[in-house]
Structure formats: C-alpha cells, structure tokens
Amino acid sequence: MMNKIVMATNNANKLREVREILSPLGIDVISQAEAGISCDPEENGSSFSENSEIKAEAVYNAYAEKKHENIAVIADDSGLCVDALDGRPGVYSARYAPKGQECARLLDEMNDIPDERRTARFICDITYINGYGMDFHFEGICEGIISREKLGENGFGYDPVFMYGGRTLAEMTAEEKNNISHRAKALGSLYKFLKERQGE
C-alpha cells in the first residue's frame, strides 16, 4: 500500500479532517495543489458515487500524465436528501441556493410539510483509487429530520436545519458532529479498509 495519498479537494477543512483520521496509519495526505495538480472537473454525475469518482479519476489521470507515475487518490462528494422532496436537493445540494441561503430556501419550500414527513439524510460517498488504478467506494449516511427554524451557529451548509437526536448539527461541537456525521462514517470505513491492507 502507498503511504502517500492525494486528496482531490481544494477545501482546507476536508483535507484537515482526512489528515487527522489517516495520520495514525502513517499515511501522508496531501492536497491536489501540493501534488502540483490543478483540475476542477464538471460534477455532472447523477449520484454522489458518480461525482466522487469523477473527481478522483480527474486527479489520478492528471497526476499520471504530469509525473509519469501513479499515486493513490481520495475524493468525496456529499449532500442532503429530503424524503418529502423526492430526494432533493441531493447532488444539487451545493447549488440549491446562493451560499448562506440554503437553509432559508429549504424551510420555505417545506413550509407545508407536517412534522412526521420531514425525514431526511446526509449522504457522503468517498472514492479511493489505489496505486494500481482500482476504485473503491465508502458510503456514510446520517439520518435526521428537517427542523422548522434555523438553530445553532456551528457547522456549515444545512447544519442549522438538520436535527439529530433532538438538536441540529449546528448546535453540536465539531467533535460531537464527527461522531455521527455521514462524512465521518465514510472516512471510518476507509480507515478500516486501509488499516487491513497495511503491509501489503
């Protein structure tokens, strides 16, 4: 197994989270910028797994072309699926409303939806491509309920309207969210997978 992995992201928070989780395995996670790669492929897949694969493959191929060698790559894609909206915003979560207005728009769109039909889930898919170009997927799901109002100041995106165990994710500390979040669960599965292959 390679002990260096490129993360296909320019998001410093995601990079830090992945670094923290994989560092006990002696794996060095570097950003695509640190690897000398700049690419921003169109995320035009119809599922989270298609989109994370598009991002991972773009970086894997760009690296191989530039450096004439292969390197392992991680990419993730995530979003919110609301049952009463037939799974929307789903893969369009980042584009559903202007940044900072996604919660207000969601509450507005769900104004007439009664409490018992406000179920939703965050989904995260991670693609890992190993040094031989083989793809592996790891999914994490966090089930919850869309609240009636924005609550809490922490987190980002839809956290202030996503209730888990009686509180929104924005009312939790980062550590509390990391115990239950879709991204943490997917990363936990990736960690287990890589740990089992150490020494191969």
Beta bridge partners of 75: 127
CB contact at 8 A, 170 and 151: yes
Cβ 76 to ligand IMP shortest distance, Å: 6
Q: Return d(Cα 112, Cα 103) in angstroms, integer.
A: 15
CB contact at 8 A, 162 and 144: yes
- The answer to whether 78 contacts ligand IMP (rule: CB under 6 A) is yes
Nearer to ligand IMP, 25 or 139 (CB): 139
Cβ 26 to ligand IMP shortest distance, Å: 27
Catalytic residue from among 77, 83, 135, 159 = 77
Residue ranges in 162-191 that form contacts with ligand IMP under rule CB under 6 A = 181
Q: Mark whether 86 is an active-site residue.
A: no
Q: Is the dihedral of CA 40, 46, 51, 53 positive or negative?
A: negative
Residue type, 101: Q
The footprint of ligand IMP on this chain (CB under 6 A) covers a number of residues equal to 14
Name the segment binding ligand IMP (CB under 6 A); options: 73-81, 107-115, 128-136, 146-154.
73-81
Cβ 91 to ligand IMP shortest distance, Å: 8
CA angle 124, 125, 130 (to 5 degrees): 145
Nearer to ligand IMP, 35 or 186 (CB): 186
Place of tokens 């929307």: 88
- Work out whether strand 72-82 and strand 4-7 pair parallel, antiparallel, or are unpaired: parallel
Cβ 3 to ligand IMP shortest distance, Å: 26
Tell me the per-residue interface mask from 94 to 113 with ligand IMP, x by CB under 6 A, - otherwise: x-------x-----------
Residue ranges in 129-158 that form contacts with ligand IMP under rule CB under 6 A = 155-158
Name the segment binding ligand IMP (CB under 6 A); options: 17-25, 33-41, 78-86, 145-153.
78-86
Q: Which residues have a Cβ under 8 Å from the Cβ of 25 and sit 6 or more positions away?
A: 191, 194, 195, 198
Q: Return d(Cα 136, Cα 130) in angstroms, integer.
A: 8
* Gyration radius (Cα) of the chain, Å: 18
The residues carrying an active-site annotation are 77
The residues of the shown chain that bind ligand IMP, judged by CB under 6 A, are 77-80, 93-94, 102, 122, 155-159, 181
